[in-house]
């Protein structure tokens, strides 16, 4: 599951922080991490304590807000930036394709295993027939036939 698509309420913010973010239509963790500290501090009813709470919650899940430097770079170089959602979608599709290939290979291995077992049984039966023929020939030779 992609953590960036999770709703911000999963971060268990205080009512003040949750309401301030909701007022700005920040609904997912992915929406939240696109903001810089300066942008959040400009929100109504959002101060330093709220910012600390957001930073702590994001750090707890291994994320952080966008830095001013990153935001400036993205604005100045839009052709060099990667759309994170597209990248995640592409990676999910690659993983799904690989998973399907693994399942296909597992099915093929299962078929081959069944074939090996069948061939082994056929070989065992052929050896048994050969053994029986050998015994019969020995008896016939003993009797002079």
Q: How many helices (H) and strands (E) does the chain have?
A: 6, 0
Q: Which long-range contacts (CB under 8 A, 24 or more apart) does 51-54 make?
A: 53/13, 53/14, 53/17, 54/13, 54/17
Q: Residue ranges of the chain with pLDDT lower than 50?
A: none
pLDDT (0 to 100) of residue 89: 78
pTM: 0.51
pLDDT (0 to 100) of residue 80: 62
pLDDT (0 to 100) of residue 87: 74
Structure tokens at 17: 């922080």
pLDDT (0 to 100) of residue 73: 67
Convert the pLDDT of each residue in 71-94 to its tens digit.
776 677 766 666 666 777 788 899
Distance (Å, whole) CA 74 – CA 34: 11
pLDDT (0 to 100) of residue 14: 95
Outline where 24-83 has alpha helix (H): 29-32, 37-41, 48-60, 68-76
pLDDT (0 to 100) of residue 85: 67
| Domain-wise residue ranges, the chain | 3-81, 82-145
pLDDT (0 to 100) of residue 81: 61
Distance (Å, whole) CA 48 – CA 43: 11
Distance (Å, whole) CA 10 – CA 4: 11
pLDDT (0 to 100) of residue 26: 94
Would you say domain 3-81 falls under CATH 1.10.150.20? Answer: yes
């Amino acid at each position: 599951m992609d953590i960036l698509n999770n709703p911000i309420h999963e971060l268990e913010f205080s009512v003040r922080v949750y309401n301030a973010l909701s007022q700005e239509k920040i609904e997912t963790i992915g929406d939240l991490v696109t903001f810089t500290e300066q942008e959040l501090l400009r929100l109504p009813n959002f101060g330093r304590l709220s910012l600390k709470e957001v930073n702590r919650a994001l750090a707890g899940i291994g994320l952080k807000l966008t830095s001013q430097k990153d935001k400036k770079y993205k604005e100045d170089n839009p052709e060099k930036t990667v759309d994170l959602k597209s990248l995640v979608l592409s990676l999910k599709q690659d993983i799904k394709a690989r998973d399907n290939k693994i399942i296909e290979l597992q099915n093929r291995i299962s078929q081959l295993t069944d074939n090996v077992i069948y061939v082994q049984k056929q070989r065992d039966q052929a050896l048994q027939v050969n053994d029986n023929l050998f015994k019969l020939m020995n008896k016939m030779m003993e009797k002079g036939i």
